[in-house]
Structure 1
Amino acid sequence: MRPRLHLSPPSLVGGELATLSRTLTSGWIAPAGPVPEAFEAALCGATGFEHAAAVASGTAALHLAYRVLGVERGDEVWTQSLTFVATIAPAVQMGAKPRFLDVAPDSWTLDPEVLETQLRLAARRGKLPRAVVPVDLYGQPADLDVILEICGRWGVPVLCDSAEALGAHYRGRPVGKGAAMAAFSFNGNKIITAGGGGALCSDDPALIARARHLATQAKEAAPHYQHETTGYSYGLSSVLASVGLAQIGALRARVAARRLVFARYAEALSDLPGLTLMPEPGWAQATRWLTVLQLDPARFGATPEELRRELEAANIESRPVWKPLHMQPAFRGARCHGPGQAVRLFERGLCLPSGAMSSADQDRVIEIIRAVFRG
């Protein structure tokens, strides 16, 4: 059996061991001290935000954001249905009600027309959402300026779930910039990894100060343990922060490499009827964290699941597009407001290996896709 090709394996830059060694010998292990602070400063440089709080995960960052935005039981939080469950799970666990919206065909991200229609209806009902959460899906920026303009008419804050999109750009600026807050992830499968961890970023120092307070058990400034509210143990350890700090300098090169992988797939598969790749609007520069294809079985001659099984038989990992959240048993009875684009993308979508791999490794994937084609 040939070596396993993974979807998006972690990649090391070579400086992690030295940075870890310095951290360990310094005695700073806990989520405090110079290393997390240095990582946060580097994140501000990479994201364009003025303030950042490094935390235990991207999900923790979203949870803190929901707390900071004042989400309470019975509130509505809106997001796109085509996303990973972590986008909305913390809000639901806080007692909020999710509303799922469709995605636009030109970006696969939150459809501004659907959003505007639903906000207008919500205003008539007297039940506006506490927050709207566009997702920068697979490294593709959402159309943030349009979303901000629409939400601004009704005073609804925008929180970007940018967990998959560090290094992407929207209209020339880093992804998420302009939103009230943006959450990022450094999970092992991300372009920049700390082996885990995440960050919440904002240009508002008060929001990040509040999030940082909650992330450290909401301890008040007192000689004894004083708590006006309850918080969480969400700080990012110095050990993980040191890995992230060693990696972040390679962000531009990593994004360029992912985009090159996408370009090779696009060139090699462009002649196959019924196969298309995730589009990129003119206002976006995606990271191509994952290369995602769409198959029309009638023209391609095979379904995404048939292709996935053939890739798996060759020891190559692939994965369906995110199953829309309104189709998940956890949200039984929910619906997706819009024309059904999210469902179509799920039914026809497949994510391909997209991490650091040789041309020969990528050719393995391409050869199987071409062999499966029966158009």
Structure 2
Amino acid sequence: MKNKRIFLSAPHMSGNELKYIEKVFESNYIAPLGEYVNKFEESIKNYTGVKNALAVVSGTAAIHLALRVLGIKEGDDVLASTFTFIGSVNAILYQRANPIFIDSDNDSWNLSPKLLNKYLCTCEKKPKALIVTHLYGMCADIEKIADICNLHGVYLIEDAAESLGATYNGKHTGTFGDFGIYSFNGNKILTTSGGGMLVSNNAKWIEKAKFYSTQAKEDFIHYEHEEYGYNYRMSNVLAAIGVAQMEVIEERVAKKREIFGWYEEYLSNIDEIIFMPELSNSRGNRWLTALTFSKSDYNKVMQALDKINVESRPLWKPMHIQKLFEDAKCIVDGTSEKLFSQGLCLASSTTMTRDDVEMICKTIIDSLD
């Protein structure tokens, strides 16, 4: 008989979700209005220190709104991390803009400030914005990246979908740029089943994003429209889940980091294994424990883990080698392609125990070439 399935990052409820959902039902404010939407936004602001927040249906919707508010339009160039999930960059296509992909560095596995600066110093057409991803909950070299963007007049959007709770020099990811976004999809460190948050210290921008997210309705008693908008606001029901989840955010970060510590303890003596690094002066949330194998085939490791009913997954396939973006410009040096060819994400659900991790590590070691 197989063990109970161990997932990469399963939802983990705090215990108050149903209580808050019941209050939503009692109020009958089910739609994208109600006190829990406001409470969820306030909890994000209080936790991260950002001045303004807007609860929406997904992280991708949040990125789309950011691009729209910043005036990104057809023909504009938008820089982005190539080593990321597709949701980070789809919104560039929504605006009919041109994605330009920047490779990672070995110090963080996130976007390379060196390659970014090199491109901005030599490009003929200045990009309008950069979408930088904090991959697997680990901080990009965000202060350097923000300085480069400021120097060249490029808007900065932080895709912190995976990195809620991560900090650089004590400041939360998602709060360094012009906009930041978080995701509350089912596998994130906190989940509302589906949902996202757009944040910014610019109140006017968030108000404009709110306007676009509610069908761009003008301020009339009737439905008056001068611009097109979207149905992007989060429901009060999902926001109630988010409020309960935010009550345990630090516990979840601590548990994710503890799980990583167990993996590191059991596998650090294996020469070919390299874990995703953590920049000095940063605290990643270790959403998923990610590592590479310099000699062994990660597919064999995945197969061995699947036999004991444990989920694992390859690292993200870089965007610049996806067929969708075969004609896109890219500034690469092979770093992300190498990581993709050697890397694996290990199960990191916050319900896991040390015994679970020990079993997984033994299986990994036995499967190595």
**Same fold at TM > 0.5:** yes
Among candidates 317, 327, 336, match of residue 321 of structure 2: 327
| Letter of the 1:346 counterpart | F
The 1-side partners of 2:153 and 2:330 are apart by: 23
Residue 65 of structure 1: how far off its partner (Å): 0.5
Deviation sequence 1:50-85 (CA, Å, 0-9, x none):
000000011110110110111100111101110001
Q: Which runs of 5+ in 2 are unaligned?
A: none
Q: Is the 8 A contact 2:139 2:278 kept in 1?
A: no
Give 3-state SS (helix, strand or coil) of 2:252's partner: helix
The 1-side partners of 2:269 and 2:162 are apart by: 29
Q: Is the 8 A contact 2:40 2:243 kept in 1?
A: yes
Q: CA RMSD in A?
A: 1.0
Alignment of 1:247-258 (within 5 A): 247-258=245-256
The 2-side partners of 1:74 and 1:321 are apart by: 31
Among candidates 305, 308, 313, match of residue 314 of structure 1: 308
Alignment-derived partner of residue 29 in structure 2? 28
TM-score, scaled to structure 1: 0.96
Alignment of 1:1-375 (within 5 A): 1-122=2-123, 125=124, 127-297=125-295, 302-334=296-328, 336-356=330-350, 357-374=352-369
Bigger shift: residues 327-336 or 348-357? 327-336
Deviation sequence 1:240-264 (CA, Å, 0-9, x none):
0000001101001100000000000
Deviation sequence 1:63-117 (CA, Å, 0-9, x none):
1011011110011110111000111101112211100011111101110010001
Give 3-state SS (helix, strand or coil) of 2:345's partner: strand
The 2-side partners of 1:107 and 1:46 are apart by: 24
Bigger shift: residues 230-239 or 362-371? 362-371
Residue 193 of structure 1: how far off its partner (Å): 0.8
| Letter of the 2:114 counterpart | E
The 2-side partners of 1:334 and 1:205 are apart by: 34
The 2-side partners of 1:116 and 1:365 are apart by: 41
The 1-side partners of 2:288 and 2:282 are apart by: 15
| Letter of the 2:327 counterpart | G
Q: Which runs of 5+ in 1 are unaligned?
A: none
The 2-side partners of 1:371 and 1:169 are apart by: 36
The 1-side partners of 2:229 and 2:239 are apart by: 21
Aligned length: 367
| Letter of the 1:50 counterpart | K
Give 3-state SS (helix, strand or coil) of 1:158's partner: strand
Residue 176 of structure 1: how far off its partner (Å): 2.2
| Letter of the 2:355 counterpart | A
Give 3-state SS (helix, strand or coil) of 1:293's partner: strand
Residue 133 of structure 1: how far off its partner (Å): 1.1
| Letter of the 1:246 counterpart | A
The 2-side partners of 1:135 and 1:283 are apart by: 18
Deviation sequence 1:150-175 (CA, Å, 0-9, x none):
11122111010000000000111111
Give 3-state SS (helix, strand or coil) of 1:195's partner: coil
Residue 142 of structure 1: how far off its partner (Å): 1.4
Deviation sequence 1:325-349 (CA, Å, 0-9, x none):
0111111233531311110110110
Residue 362 of structure 1: how far off its partner (Å): 1.6
Q: Is the 8 A contact 1:60 1:234 kept in 2?
A: yes
Q: Is the 8 A contact 1:136 1:160 kept in 2?
A: yes
TM-score, scaled to structure 2: 0.98
Identity %: 40
